Amino acid sequence: MRIACVQLNIAFGNPKENFRKVEEKIRKAAMLNAEIVVLPEMWNTGYDLTHLEEIADINGEETKNLLTGLAKELQIHIIGGSVSTKKDNHFFNTMYIVNNTGELIAEYDKAHLFKLMDEHLYLAAGSNKNIFTLNDVEMGGVICYDLRFPEWFRMHSLAGAKVIFVPAQWPATRVDHWKILLQARAIENQCFIVAVNRVGDDPNNSFNGNSMVIAPWGEVLWIGADEETIGLVDINIEEVEEVRKRIPIFKDRRVDIY
């Protein structure tokens, strides 16, 4: 399974430019024969939270139209990172998953809001896990700060996820946490982790990429630098079962005491 990780710089508060760039990158990923393309967090607006009333995607319609149209045309699965949306007079940080026939198969609102970037002041939190199937493989998707909650990842792996996607806008000042936690989540859940971070600056933070694809044994298969790029990685899903048989942590869990 070939995965394309789109590590890009996001134009702060400029949806028009960001939609243009994302379409360009998805088309390039398809030309590189990727089966799945993965976008970063809040790629439509960046963290321009004070202007969401003017720039958030109403019911995600513009995002869904773009992703479903491209997925069908290019016959590529799209992990839509996340975008700022307005639904029922509330704002959300929303991930859309579209399969290669252009069908929207999953939607997830970020469950854990990050107070250091003021998400809790502007956004509403989601409450549902995000499990879906691509290429007959169960997968999951979470967003950025969700990474710091191992129980949320475990819930997705217990629901069957063999690959968990993590789009993010993770600041450079804490990139060491990013890398260590991603490896830990892969090892403790014995699954592939595909994490796509942004690059560039906004008025409040700098972002230095370091997007990563990590195998179930904790091996780093690819890590991005600090510039825009599309990282291509081929993964073998059979590795998940091989690792889980070798150390059967799911069978050895003490569900009687925790």
* 3-state SS string for 38-93: ECCCCCCCCCCHHHHHHHCEECCHHHHHHHHHHHHHHCCEEECCCEEEEECCEEEE
Q: Is 188 a catalytic residue?
A: no
Query: Which residue in the list 5, 21, 25, 41 is annotated as catalytic?
Result: 41
Query: Which residue in the list 25, 110, 138, 191 is annotated as catalytic?
Result: 110
**What Å distances lie between residue 100 and 73, 133, 146, 236, CA to CA?**
8, 12, 27, 19
Q: Is 72 a catalytic residue?
A: no
Query: Which residue in the list 21, 25, 119, 144 is annotated as catalytic?
Result: 144
Q: Is 41 a catalytic residue?
A: yes
* 3-state SS string for the chain: CEEEEEECECCCCCHHHHHHHHHHHHHHHHHCCCCEEECCCCCCCCCCHHHHHHHCEECCHHHHHHHHHHHHHHCCEEECCCEEEEECCEEEEEEEEECCCCCEEEEEECCCCCHHHCHHHHCCCCCCCCEEEECCEEEEECCHHHHHCHHHHHHHHHCCCCEEEEEECCCHHHHHHHHHHHHHHHHHHCCEEEEEECEEECCCCEEECCCEEECCCCCEEEECCCCCEEEEEECCCHHHHHHHHHCCHHHHCCCCCC
Q: Which residues are catalytic?
A: 41, 110, 144
